[in-house]
Amino acid sequence: MSPLNPVEEIRFAFPALRRTHNGVAVAYLDGPGGTQVPSAVVEVMTDYLLHHNANTHWVYPTSEETDALLLDARRVFATFVGGAPAEIVFGANMTTLTFHAARALARSWQPGDEVIVTALDHHANVAPWQAVARDFGIVLRWLEVDAVTGTLRLDELPQLFTARTRLLAIGAASNALGTVSDIAAATRMARDVGALSYVDGVHYAPHYLPDVATLGADFFACSAYKFYGPHVGVLWGRRDLLDQLDVPKLAPAPDTAPDRWETGTQNHEGIVGAAAAVRWLASLTPAATDAGLRAGLVASYAAMHEREAQLFARLWDGLHDIPAVRCFGPPPDGPRTATLAFTVEGLPSEMVARTLAARGCFVSNGDFYASTIAERLGVAETGLVRVGAAVYTTADEIDRVIEGVAELIGEL
């Protein structure tokens, strides 16, 4: 396996990493909520705005250039997820796209039809289905989570399917705990009863290269700002579904996929920037230099996963050994991302996060919109502290978090 480029070289691409706070370099450890952006992505966005900015489908040069750039972005994301360009839909974010898709799907269902959601998911893959349950008379059924291991009770999933099940909404990876679920097994169960699968890949895509065929998804949604791009949502859907579903749209708008799903003028600079982020990801190993895009992504993701796994093990071991710290989710040898949620006994998560921020360690806290799992873990009131390793994270930054938590407890 080709190694990842040196972390110092990778970090040089991110101007944000040169920021200081209270006299120390900032460690951006809030990647699960949004990563920093390399200069190469910003330069592509700036070039578009300064030299190609126009609306689509006109006959003058900048409009035609915009059309070409958007088509190129669809091709890039088709390669990223293993689909086709006409199956790529862009939108404001994964949440907005999912509300849009949920309403389109529900228009083809009947009152009493059922959707399965999970207690581990971000509510972007729960609230849209709750909305159509209320508006269309759909019944929600819940797949529960094992609060001890932080994993879905997939052994209980077969009992949730009925003849009325229309869709399984499931997250590939938990943005709160880092748990990676066996999506291929879950979607196979759904297919066996004739149900569709809507997979939230927002936290999965920064750490595992998506392959919608292997995952068995009918829909796969992600967000570019979680993997070094701008704030743009991306939805892959099977072409037949994108063509047939009764999606809300303006009558004069195109009636073919994927345009029929994209209401109004899109964030063109964000879309071309998102494509640039994928290309940047494909360049992170020496082996990727002369490889095609997909081959470069495969090499980069394999190398990223190896480095992130080492950082996560360091973080888990360091925090796990501190009295009063409770770590959640699978251990380092389990299927997971390099994201750790923890609590400090007797302290609200906000206090811990503020203390770490004072040391230049920017981490997130709360329930991260995965409020159901926070309730199941009994931390809804105090919240969780979340640390996420990214491609630019160093071992020194991980050690600063461990030291900061230890010092905080020592001061109590």
pLDDT digits (tens, 9 = 90+) for 47-71: 999 999 999 999 999 999 999 999 9
Q: Are residues 24 and 46 in the same domain?
A: no
Using alpha carbons, select from 338, 340, 329 the residue that is nearest to residue 306: 338
In a domain, 311, yes or no: yes
Q: Are residues 359 and 376 in the same domain?
A: yes
pLDDT digits (tens, 9 = 90+) for 128-140: 999 999 999 999 9
Domain boundary among 246, 280, 314: 280
Average pLDDT over residues 304-312: 98
Q: Which residues contact 57 (CB under 8 A, 6 or more apart)?
A: 63, 67
pTM of the model: 0.97
* pLDDT in the model for residue 2: 81
Mean confidence (pLDDT) of the chain: 96
In a domain, 48, yes or no: yes
CATH code assigned at 221: 3.40.640.10
pLDDT digits (tens, 9 = 90+) for 97-141: 999 999 999 999 999 999 999 999 999 999 999 999 999 999 999
% of the chain exceeding 90 in pLDDT? 95
Pairing of strands 114-118, 364-366: unpaired
* Alpha-carbon span 377 to 395, nearest angstrom: 29
Q: Are residues 248 and 331 in the same domain?
A: no
Q: Are residues 117 and 201 in the same domain?
A: yes
Domains identified in the chain, total number: 2
Domain that holds residue 331: 7-37+302-411
Q: Are residues 166 and 22 in the same domain?
A: no
Pairing of strands 384-388, 339-344: antiparallel
Q: Are residues 33 and 47 in the same domain?
A: no
Q: Are residues 69 and 218 in the same domain?
A: yes
